Structure 1
Amino acid sequence: MYELIDSHSHIDEIENTDSVIAEARKNHVMAVIAVGTSFLSNQRIMALAEIYPDYLYPALGLFPWNIADEDFQDNMNYIGENIHRAIGMGEIGLDYSKGVKERASREDQQSVFRELLATAKANNKPALIHSRYSWKDCFNITQEVEVEKAVFHWYTGPLSILNQIIESGYYISASPAAEYHEEHRAAIKAVPLERLILETDSPVTYRRGTEFEYDSRPADVVRTLYAISEIKNIDRVTAAKITLENAVRLFNL
C-alpha cells in the first residue's frame, strides 16, 4: 500500500470540506497543501488549517491577476504577518496569458513576484510557482532572489528550462493533466523522479468539453500517481514512495 500528498489544492473553493477530506483519506491521501490566491482566500485557508490540523497545511499566496484587486496591499500585509504560520508561499508567480496581462502588466507582476519570493526566502519557506507562458522569467527571477526551495507547479514549459530547474535543485509537480496533456507528459518523462511531486490543482476541471470531464478533488491525486507511473514505466508503489518522500522533504512535514 502507499500514501500520497496533494501538494497543490484550492480547497477553499470546494464545498463540503468534510466529505472531500474523508474521500481523500480513503484514497490514501495523508496530507493536502492548501494554496492561497487572494486576501480572502488566504484567510479561508488559514481557518481551514485550524479545523483540520496535521492534515491540511496552508500556503499563502497571490495569483498574478489578483494584483489588481482593491485589497491587494491588505493581502501583502497579511502574508507578511502570517507566513511564519504557513508551510509555504503560494500560489505565486507570473502569467503572461493575454487576459492576465490586461489586468496586471509584466512589470507589476515581476515586482510583486520578487517581493513575495524574498519573503519566502527570509522565512525559509518553499515557493509554489505559477509560470504559465512565463517559464523563463519565473526561473530567472527565482534564481536572482536566490530562493533555495521551490516547485514549479503543473509544469508545461520547455525542456531546456526544465533542465535548469532540475540543476538548481527545484521540483516540478504533476497534475491529473498528465493523463493526456502532451507538454505536461513530456516534462514528467524528462524530470528525474527525485524531483517530482504530485498535485491536483483542485477544483480545476479536467478533460473539459469531453464526455470524461470532471471537477477534481484532492482524492484525484491518485489519478496523477497512475499517470506518472505509466509515463515513467515504474510501479505505482515505487512512484508513490519517492514522490511522497520528495514532498515531505520540500515542505518539511
Structure 2
Amino acid sequence: MASTSEAAANPLLAGLNAISNGNSPASARYADIGINLSDPIFRGTYHGKKAHDDDLQQVVQRALEAGVRKMMVTGSDLMESKNAIKLAEELPGLCYATVGVHPCSAMSFSKHEAGPDALLSDLSKLARDSRDSGKAMAFGEIGLDYDRLHYCDKETQLIYFAKQLDLAIDLQMPLFLHSRAAATDFERLLRERLDKLPKRGCVHSFTGTLEEMQALVAMGFDIGVNGCSMKTEDNLAVVKEVPLERLQIETDGPWCDMRPSHASAKFLQDGPEMPKAVKKEKWSKDEMVKGRNEPCAITLVAHAVAGIKGVSVEKVREQAWRNSIRMFGLGEAPP
C-alpha cells in the first residue's frame, strides 16, 4: 500500500489509499488481466490530439472503488512494453506489465534500426530484467491476427510469432496471447512448442468458436473474456462453455467496451451501476468518457459472464481472480 509520503511524491499513488480508506467493496476483488492503461487516451490525448486533462488518477481511483486489485498492463511493442513497466513502477502492487510485440505491430521487427535480431534481443533483455524485478508477469501480447492484415501481412506475423514463442521458451514466462481468424496456424505453432511452455498462458479477448476454445483449453491455456467476447449469440454460447477453472476476465480498455447493441446486454439489465459517462468534449474529472473503456467496467464483464453461465457474480469473480493469480502471480501467493 502507498505511504502518505509516497502518495505526496506521486499523485497516481494516492488512489491506492482508497483500499485502506474503505472506499471500495470489501468483498470484491478483480484482476483486470488485459488493460492498455499506458495508452495516451488515459492521459486525455485522442489520435494525437489533446482533448482534456490527464485523468489517469481518476481512472485508477474508479477501478479501485469497483474492487479492482490487480491490473496487467499490456505491452504491444517494445516502447509500449517499456511504458507498461513504467506504470508498474509508478503503481507498485496494483499494476504489472506484459512484454511483447502484438501481431499487428510485427512489421516493427523489419523496421527496427538495428534489424530484427536486435529487436528480439532488446525484447529478451527487457522481459528478463522486468520479470526478475517483479514488474512483468507475462510475455506478450503475441500471436496472430488475420482480421487486420492491413497492419501486417500473414507471413511476417507467422515469422515473428514463432520467433517470440522461441524467446518465451528461454524466458519461461506465462504467455499473453492474441488470436483472430487464425486458429489453425495459431494452434499449430503452439503445439509444436507445447512441451517447452509448461507455464502455458491466457488467450485473451477470445472471440473464436466453441471448437477452438475447447482445443486451447485441452492444451492447457486459459481463456480471457471481455466485452468483445460477448457481442453475438454465438459468442455467448462459447462463453457459457468455458470451464470456470480456465476463465479469466478483462476489459481490454480503452477498447472492447460492453454496448447496448451486444448480445450480452440482456444480462446487464440489473447490472452494477457505472459512473456517468460524457463525451470527451464535455469531460469532467469525476466522469467517464463515452466510448473509452475503463478497468472499473470489469464489473460488467463479470456480471454478464455470471448471467450467461447461470452462476453468481461472486463465483465468477472469485474463480477468475484465483485463475489469474495461479497463472500470473501478480504479487500474490498462489491459491
TM-score by length of structure 1 reads: 0.91
| Partner in structure 2 of residue 9 of structure 1 | 35
Q: What is the CA deviation profile of residues 42-73 of structure 1, one whole-angstrom value per residue up to 9, with x for unaligned ones?
A: 12111111101111000012121212233384
| Partner in structure 1 of residue 97 of structure 2 | 58
| 1:83 and 2:83 are equivalent in the alignment | no
Contact 1:198 1:221 in 2 (8 A): yes
Percent identity between the aligned chains?
Answer: 24
Cα distance in 2 between the residues matched to 1:103 and 1:27:
35
In structure 2, the gaps of 5 or more residues are 1-26, 44-54, 131-135, 266-289, 331-335
Q: What is the CA deviation profile of residues 25-50 of structure 1, one whole-angstrom value per residue up to 9, with x for unaligned ones?
A: 10000000001112221121111111
| Partner in structure 2 of residue 41 of structure 1 | 80
For 1:212-251, list aligned pairs within 5 A.
214-251=291-328
Q: How many aligned residue pairs are there?
A: 251
| 1:159 and 2:210 are equivalent in the alignment | yes
Residue type of the alignment partner of 2:185: D
Residue type of the alignment partner of 1:145: R
Which structure has more relative contact order (CA 8 Å, sep 6+)? It is 1
| Partner in structure 2 of residue 18 of structure 1 | 57
Give the counterpart of 2:169 among 114, 121, 133.
121
Q: After superposing the two structures, state which structure 1 stretch, 59-68 or 48-57, moved more.
A: 59-68
Helix, strand or coil: the match of 2:160? helix
| 1:171 and 2:222 are equivalent in the alignment | yes
Give the counterpart of 1:112 among 144, 155, 160.
160
Residue type of the alignment partner of 1:154: S
Instruction: Give the direction of change, closer, same or farther, for the CA distance of 1:163–1:37 in structure 2 (3 Å limit).
Output: same
Helix, strand or coil: the match of 2:38? helix
Residue type of the alignment partner of 1:110: L
Cα distance in 2 between the residues matched to 1:193 and 1:209:
25
Give the counterpart of 1:131 among 164, 168, 179.
179
Contact 1:176 1:221 in 2 (8 A): no
| Partner in structure 1 of residue 268 of structure 2 | none
Give how far 1:131 is off.
0.5
Q: After superposing the two structures, state which structure 1 stretch, 23-32 or 61-70, moved more.
A: 61-70
Cα distance in 1 between the residues matched to 2:87 and 2:205:
24
Residue type of the alignment partner of 1:193: L
Q: Calculate the aligned-residue CA RMSD, in Å.
A: 2.2
In structure 1, the gaps of 5 or more residues are none
| Partner in structure 2 of residue 143 of structure 1 | 191
Residue type of the alignment partner of 2:205: W
Give the counterpart of 1:31 among 67, 70, 74.
70
Residue type of the alignment partner of 1:170: F
Give the counterpart of 1:204 among 255, 268, 277.
255
Cα distance in 1 between the residues matched to 2:258 and 2:95:
27
Helix, strand or coil: the match of 2:98? strand
Helix, strand or coil: the match of 2:236? helix
Give how far 1:151 is off.
1.0
